[in-house]
Amino acid sequence: MPAFTVHIKHGGKQQSLQLDPEQPPLVFKEAIYQATGVPVDRMKVMIKGALLKDENSWKGVNPKAGQTYMVIGTAGELPKPPSTPIQFMEDMTERELASVLTVPVGLQNLGNTCYLNSTVQALRAIPELQTALDPVSGTPTTAQHRLATALRETYKAMGKTTEGFPPLILLTNLRAVFPQFAEQSNAGHYAQQDAEECWSQMINAMKIPVPGLASQSESSPKSFVEQYMMGEMRTVLKSLEDPEEPESVSTDEMLKINCNISGTTNYMHSGIKESLDEVIEKHSERLARTAQYQKTSRISRLPSNLTVHMVRFYWRRDINKKAKIMRKVKFPFELDVLDLLTDELRAKLQPATRKLLAIEGERVERRRARRKLKNKNAQTSSSATGDTAASSSGVNTEPEAMAVDEPRPGDIEDEAPAREREKAAMDAVIDPEIRADTGAAVHALFELTAIVTHKGASADGGHYIGWVRKSALETLDESAPEGDKEEWYKFDDDKVSVVTREKISTLDGGGEDSTAYLLLYRQHGANPLTWSSELETKAQNWANGCKFEHGSTGENLAVGTGEFGPAAAVKLWTDEADQYDPNNPQPSHFTQVVWKSTTELGCAVTRCPAGTIYPEESNYHVCEYAPPGNVIGHFPENVQK
């Protein structure tokens, strides 16, 4: 078939090109590149809602003369020969190496500063914090503002080096805000400090200067700490000696949960329950004396980041020092806190909690089936390449004889549409009030993400180390180790190493070795997106313009003719998952769809007249997101492919 003329539309301009159906589509894309300057690797070509693939033929597309192809992508300069010689890794600077290597760096010990180093590394496991710190700019007006700015700059500097970074500016600002961390020993050296005090003080200091992530549904947004790290605890006091005394009910802010350790505490969960249900003594106005009261506390607002403090240090009067409780206390990698909630909050979170448990079971089964199929295909391929093949009589090798639980390629649901289906299922059972509370947990299941451990016998000495789940800092695929072999980073000041989950499980105490002291639990899985009517209106206004181009907020766009519906639009976006490279992350529709820090979504569709986008009528889909994703520098913690 001879070549014929077709039209391409890019950036509002239409051009005519020759298309030769005897040549593969990649040749046509190269011609588009020459005409528009859009590189082939960043180019998407659509015809009637379908994406033109780089196949060897035009099968399934059937190009015709006069057709119009929509070209999506940003034009760049035409290719030029390299102005500098190719640079090899051994010739790169520290900054250049850091940009291509994914191993996180440690922090130098500036003199008994392991308490700060371990805290900073553990806080790094909260992706929303990285996003919230970005707007902290301008001239710092308070010491707390300067501390938040120093933390942000420390994280940025850690991403530009492969050597341990000295957090001198952060340390200086910490001591300026909290002079206790500048205390010196009798020998004139800076004294060892308590990592829990450092953690709590830094979180408190960030309440004001670090803004919350914008929510379209909140007229007066809270700070980041109030959204994502602060809960509320409702406490009921009931007299055990005066039945006529009315109960006293109070609600207080909660930045951490204490796990009390007694002589019978073997598990973290039971230690937490002991701290929430205890008998105390206080003055009774009615009895005019000290009386015993039952103190019962339950969580009434659950943040998506939950800190557990193992209360291992206590004051020994005989030696006038803080001593350490060495007892072994097992902690879970997955934490269910339903029984720690008020009755009202439990009723709101229970449906989503049960749904997530079912979804997790399905995900495990899909991973198992894929691996089983992959192993089977590998065995089949290995047998096919041998010199001989053998069969055993009495064994039917026809497909009908396959075991009923044997996975087949067509039986395993693709992961991208499965995740979309799961999000929709979760969204349907989330309580509306919880959905509107930005940063609040929408269910009661948490996963262990980071730990600060203490090694030694007393709080005045010893050594702190940070441990962070590898998946919290970078994107892992399905081939990553699981179970006891799951990988974690160990941050021993500037020495960084990889350990397995099996090693993490040994940090439960029983001696002077590294023992879990602070544990950061994050809400299990990405938060389902909340529908925003305000974003929906914004998307509708953009769609009504019938201009296939992006605004300033990075909305997702899709257009197609005929019966091009929402499912087809979302599929176009999620199909880009195969093009995502964790080692060289680039913004795309797919990365915005799965962006972890995004909490709200609003979409709209309009029917555009013929001649506006396509020669014929077309359905134009627009989705707006808040906070918007695709933030350069934050792909590893937000795109969990």
DSSP 35-84: HH---GGG-EEEETTEEPP--SS-TTT---TT-EEEEES---PPP---SS
Query: Using one digit for the tens of pLDDT, what is the confidence trace for 397-451?
Result: 333 333 334 455 556 777 778 878 888 888 899 999 998 899 999 999 999 999 9
Other beta carbons less than 10 A from residue 294's beta carbon = 14
Cβ neighbors of 409 (< 8 A, separation 6 or more) are 373
Residue 241: pLDDT over 80: yes
Catalytic entry in 7, 463, 546, 550: 463
Q: What is the mean pLDDT of the chain?
A: 83
Angle between helices 415-429 and 343-384 (to 10 degrees): 170
Query: Using one digit for the tens of pLDDT, what is the confidence trace for 101-135?
Result: 567 999 999 999 999 999 999 999 998 898 888 87
> How many Å apart are CA 260 and CA 538, to the nearest integer?
50
Token output for 232: 């509320």
Per the model's pLDDT, the better-predicted residue between 338 and 41 turns out to be 338
> Known catalytic residue: 114?
yes
Angle between helices 195-205 and 114-123 (to 10 degrees): 50
Query: Using one digit for the tens of pLDDT, what is the confidence trace for 179-230?
Result: 999 999 888 889 999 999 999 999 999 998 898 886 545 555 789 999 999 9
Q: Please tell me the pTM assigned to this model.
A: 0.67
Domain boundaries, the chain: 1-77, 529-641
Per the model's pLDDT, the better-predicted residue between 1 and 626 turns out to be 626
Residue 272's pLDDT is: 96
Long-range contacts made by residues 89-98, C-beta under 8 angstroms, separation at least 24?
A: 94/160, 94/161, 94/162, 94/163, 95/160, 95/161, 97/162, 98/159, 98/160, 98/161, 98/162
Catalytic entry in 7, 10, 114, 550: 114
Instruction: Kindly state the DSSP code that residue 221 receives in the 8-state scheme.
Output: P
Can you tell me whether residue 565 is helix, strand or coil? Answer: coil
Residue 301: pLDDT over 60: yes
Query: Using one digit for the tens of pLDDT, what is the confidence trace for 59-81?
Result: 777 888 888 888 888 776 544 54
Cβ neighbors of 524 (< 8 A, separation 6 or more) are 334, 356, 360, 443, 445, 446, 447
> In this predicted structure, which of 41-50, 184-193, 304-313 has the lowest mean pLDDT?
41-50
Residue 125's pLDDT is: 94
Other beta carbons less than 10 A from residue 616's beta carbon = 13
Cβ neighbors of 237 (< 8 A, separation 6 or more) are 247, 248, 249, 250, 282, 293, 294, 295
Query: Using one digit for the tens of pLDDT, what is the confidence trace for 534-572?
Result: 888 899 999 999 988 887 767 889 998 888 888 788 878
> How many Å apart are CA 29 and CA 39, to the nearest integer?
9
pLDDT confidence bin for 372, thresholds 50/70/90: confident
> How many Å apart are CA 341 and CA 254, to the nearest integer?
13
CATH number of 529-641: 3.40.33.10
User: Is the distance from CB of 572 to CB of 557 less than 8 angstroms?
Assistant: no
Report the candidate in 451, 387, 426, 363 with the shortest Cα–Cα distance to residue 122: 451
Identical topology for domains 1-77 and 529-641: no
Report the candidate in 482, 471, 516 with the shortest Cα–Cα distance to residue 268: 516
Exposure string over 406-427, b if 16+ CB within 10 A, otherwise e: ebeeeebeebbeebbebbeebb
What is the percent of the chain where pLDDT is above 90?
44
Residue 172's pLDDT is: 95
CA atoms within 13 A on the CB side of 184: 4
> How many Å apart are CA 12 and CA 10, to the nearest integer?
5
Phi, psi of 603 (to 5 degrees): -130, 160
Of the candidate CATH numbers 3.90.550.10, 3.40.50.10540, 3.40.50.880, 3.10.20.90, the domain formed by 1-77 belongs to: 3.10.20.90
Determine how β-strand 277-284 pairs with β-strand 313-316: unpaired
